[in-house]
Structure 1
Amino acid sequence: MVEQIEFTLKPRSKGIYLVTEEIARHLPAITGAGMVHLFLKHTSAALAINENADPDVRLDMEAIFDRLVKEREIYYRHTAEGDDDMPAHAKTVLTGVSLTLPLKDGKLNLGIWQGIYLCEFRRFGGRRTVVATVIS
């Protein structure tokens, strides 16, 4: 069986956020094994899997992204939407907008230290829409 659900995550300012539970609340209950494909319908934010325990990891990841892709580079042409827009697009390309995850007995089957991140690369990106396609 394949089911598709579309939902929005609450608006956030620039940063890396643990959204595992927020996403899990929207997934249908299934029995047995399955998969969920998560697709973020945006070009200036991303989804990632990483450390879910120490919040310093999220702060470090944000600092790494900001160092890799800086604002106000003289070679940027796409600048009409603000200093953070083109860097947000580049960071999204580096990170990606989709994840495919296993499900077991109605729950995400993640490692003990894994969580789903929303990487918000704009100072204020607004509500972010996720499409979850569940295969059971």
Structure 2
Amino acid sequence: MKQASGELAIQTRGQGLVEITDEVTRWLDGQAIETGLLTVFCRHTSASLLINENAAPAVRRDIQRYFAHVAPEARDYEHDDEGPDDMPAHLRTALTDVSLSVPGARGEPVLGTWQGIYLFEHRAAPHRRRVALHVIGE
């Protein structure tokens, strides 16, 4: 049994979904582990991870609109230390995931035909996000 860990730095442009499937796949392919379990972990409280469709851009737009409706910036939140998008970003992270477990086979994440791995930026300003990776297998 072998294991490896690493980290990706992902630059965002502000709120939205950034597909990171290719970066994750390149990293996993370089670890010389044919079969195992990959953990992807977002090291932030105002950004998250999700697996969703990567073919139709309308899916990403609809997801963003949904979360803007569920956790709007126009609310009177007690926590607003970093501006009006601060607390909604934390709520959106709480409703999604900061960690994903993905099987790995032949040096690639085992995803469905239309699935992609996304970093979901919840803040309005661009950020440099850190995503930790860990794989265990053989």
Fold match (TM-score > 0.5): yes
CA distance in structure 2 between the partners assigned to 1:94 and 1:61 by the alignment: 12
CA distance in structure 1 between the partners assigned to 2:13 and 2:131 by the alignment: 14
Query: Which residue in the other structure is 2:65 paired with?
Result: 63
Q: How far 1:7 sits from its partner (Å)? A: 2.3
Query: Which residue in the other structure is 2:80 paired with?
Result: 79
1:16-63 Cα deviation digits (max 9, x unpaired): 222211222223343431111011000000100011100110000000
- Residue 15 of structure 2 aligns to a residue in which SS? strand
Q: TM-score, normalised by structure 1?
A: 0.93
Name stretches of at least 5 consecutive residues in structure 2 with no aligned partner. Answer: none
What amino acid is the match of 1:109?
Answer: V
CA contact (8 A) 1:33 1:103 kept: yes
1:47-85 Cα deviation digits (max 9, x unpaired): 0001110011000000000001111312x1111201111
Q: CA RMSD in A?
A: 1.3
Q: TM-score, normalised by structure 2?
A: 0.91
- Residue 125 of structure 2 aligns to a residue in which SS? strand
- Which one of the candidate residues 9, 12, 34 is aligned to 1:32? 34
Query: Which residue in the other structure is 1:135 paired with?
Result: 136
What amino acid is the match of 1:111?
Answer: G
What amino acid is the match of 1:88?
Answer: A
CA distance in structure 2 between the partners assigned to 1:12 and 1:102 by the alignment: 29
1:101-125 Cα deviation digits (max 9, x unpaired): 0111111110111111111110124
Name stretches of at least 5 consecutive residues in structure 1 with no aligned partner. Answer: none
- Residue 47 of structure 1 aligns to a residue in which SS? strand
Quick check: which one's strand share is greater?
1
CA distance in structure 2 between the partners assigned to 1:36 and 1:135 by the alignment: 7
CA distance in structure 1 between the partners assigned to 2:33 and 2:73 by the alignment: 46
Query: Which residue in the other structure is 1:103 paired with?
Result: 104
- Residue 124 of structure 2 aligns to a residue in which SS? strand
CA contact (8 A) 2:12 2:18 kept: no
